[in-house]
Amino acid sequence: MQKYYGAKLILDDVNLLLNQGDRAVLVGENGAGKSTLARLIVGQEDADSGEIARAPGAQTGYLPQELRVDSNISVADYIAQSVGALASLRRRLRELEAQMAEDGDIEAALKEYGQLQETFEARGGYTLSSRRELIFTGLGLRHIDAQRPLMTLSGGEKTRVGLAALLLRSPDLLILDEPTNHLDFEGLAWLEAYLLGYQHALLMITHDRRFINRVASKIIDLSPVTRNLTTYFGNYEEYRAQRDAKYQSEVDAYHAQVNRMKALRIQMKKETHGHRKAKRPDDGDKWIKFVGQQQSQRSASRLAGAAQQELRRLEAARLDNPRHIWHIQFDFDPLPMTSMEPVRLNALGMAFGGRRLIREADAVIRKGDRIALLAPNGAGKTTLLRIIQGDLRPTSGDVHIAAGVRPGYLDQTGESFDDGQNILDALSRISAGSPDKLLTLLHRSGLFRDAHLAGKTVADLSLGQRRKLGLACLIHSRANLLLLDEPTNHLDLMSMEALERSLRQFPGAILATTHDRWFVERVANKVWSLREGALIVEATSQVIRDLPGS
């Protein structure tokens, strides 16, 4: 299967087989075409060549990264529409029951009834009410009024309602695009357990490494270079080991080919121009001498010809240098931090209306701290970051920022950017820099393979690309205090690994809200938590052990 957008090749020679019971995870760089492949499978887009075969009668369900709802539909009506096929099946079963209750030939009705009953049961029709309670509780949706218009919910709440609707419908192929981005630790643990028991096929686009470790039975890697798929069996750690071994094998094969081609060229040159043999003693027979010279020339010619043929074959099948694969580097270069206590919270309090999110918080961020801020959704994590950043004023207490501290804030979705803004302009507003310097920064941050793409606007970027632009802006600002709101959301695996390496070496201070358990384990050296408004400094190792799903 192939897919183009204009002249740009997105997917090339893609082959994919999904069977019942498969729990496949699709991974790849941001912008490689993962969401495009998902839309092709469910029929929202058409391929330019190739075909997609589905089992007769098979239903597909797709959860995009952002659930867009234009109408004023209520949560209850949205759920009812999603499971409408089950309602239709139930009505038809009742019609057949009434038909079979009458006298007459019931053979055809009985056959149809048996088939529909099997489908209805497989899709959870008999347990719909109990599953609705289970799913809404597990996804943290019980507090939402069912009659509330869906479009009035937050982005995270809308996505979770969309996920709940799909789980209730239980399609034969369920495709989830970044389903973990709006779940807290309890929601993540619940979803992992639920999907482990899902009886149909799953295709998930996610970069939550703990989630992949627990749920995946195979990982499908979409290459941004070849534009096709490679399947690895196992979880994330097994995938990583196989991927690294494959990369090393490709490096070895490339160097072996380069060395062989070099040896063949030397051989051709030697046989053609520089071949000299030791002279035999001259016995005075000129004919024998002539015949020997001819045989030697023919032998050299054959060797040179064989070398040339082999060289042509190798050049026709020349391998790409794997070391030229795009490597993302988040090269933070913060201003020097002179204070050992860049931030101090003094009896900090914050309330909205009658609700107190933060109560009398006293805490210190020290130079070298890499703090993970953990709490359920809606507990006030983002609010605390914005207070420290200076975007919000607390209702009581204060925040002391030491001299020489330059905060840098990364929001969750890139909402701070103007959609109509040019990408280079977004960087230029922070600090001056030549176009070449800014393009280099964007490239190292994983945004562009082609320089002309920098002429695009923010609206042209995916969520993952917006996140990388936000990180590029942080680097360009030379902030020495990083306030990161879910920094790994929407990033691909390679980018997350690169970001974590950079943050572990960051010389300033970091406060990051996150639900990424892998990130907490590998980056944080301290943990704060918000519990019913109280800010608590935790014992890091114990918190990590106690995280759901760890």
Number of domains in the chain: 3
* Residue 143 clears pLDDT 70, i.e. is over it: yes
In a domain, 337, yes or no: no
294-308, 309-323, 409-423, 496-510, range with the lowest pLDDT: 294-308
Length of the chain: 550
d(CA 470, CA 487): 10
Confidence at 146, pLDDT banded by 50, 70, 90? confident
Confidence of residue 116 (pLDDT cuts 50, 70, 90): confident
pLDDT (tens digit per residue) in 2-18: 988 888 888 998 999 99
**Same domain membership, residue 496 and residue 377:** yes
Instruction: Assess if residue 332 is contained within a domain.
Output: no
Last residue of a domain, one of 243, 259, 276: 243
Q: Confirm whether 38 is domain-assigned.
A: yes
Q: Clarify whether residues 305 and 180 are in a common domain.
A: no
Q: What is the mean predicted confidence (pLDDT) over 80-108? A: 74
Same domain, 186 and 108: yes
Q: How confident is the model at residue 329 (pLDDT cuts 50, 70, 90)?
A: confident
The confidence band for 154, taking pLDDT boundaries of 50, 70 and 90, is confident
Domain span at 254: 247-324
**Greater confidence, 321 or 53?**
53
pLDDT higher than threshold 80 for residue 341 = yes
Domain shared by 139 and 173, yes or no: yes
Among positive and negative, which fits the CA dihedral 242, 248, 250, 252? negative
Do 151 and 184 fall into the same domain? yes
> What pLDDT does residue 429 have?
83
pTM for the model = 0.74
How many other C-beta atoms lie within 10 A of the C-beta of residue 167?
27
* H or E element in which residue 399 lies: strand 396-401
When pLDDT is averaged across residues 282-307 and rounded to a whole number, the result is 64
Positive or negative: CA dihedral 182, 187, 192, 197: negative
- Whether the CB-CB separation of 145 and 74 falls below 8 Å is answered with no
Say whether both 505 and 541 belong to one domain.
yes
pLDDT in tens, 18-75: 999 999 999 988 778 899 999 999 989 999 898 888 888 888 999 998 887 777 888 8
Cα 79 to Cα 93: distance, rounded to the nearest angstrom: 21
Of the pLDDT bands very low, low, confident and very high (cuts 50, 70, 90), residue 107 is: confident
Are 267 and 369 members of one domain?
no
Residues 209 and 267 in one domain: no
Within a domain: residue 476? yes
User: Strand, helix or coil at 26?
Assistant: strand
Name which of 361, 327, 330 is nearest 344 in CA terms.
361
What average pLDDT does the segment 352-372 reach?
A: 91
Q: What is the mean pLDDT of the chain?
A: 84
Q: What local confidence, expressed as pLDDT, does residue 166 receive?
A: 93
Same domain flag for 386 and 366: yes
Mean pLDDT for the stretch of residues 356-377 = 92
pLDDT band at 291 (very low <50, low <70, confident <90, very high): low
pLDDT band at 340 (very low <50, low <70, confident <90, very high): very high
Q: Tell whether 226 and 375 lie within a shared domain.
A: no
Residue 338 is predicted with a pLDDT of 92
Please indicate, yes or no, whether residues 36 and 150 belong to a single structural domain of this protein: yes
What is the reported pLDDT for 292? Answer: 60
Evaluate whether residue 257 is within a structural domain. yes
Residue 426's domain is classified under what CATH number? 3.40.50.300
The reply to whether 334 falls in a domain is no
Is residue 278 located within the same domain as residue 390?
no
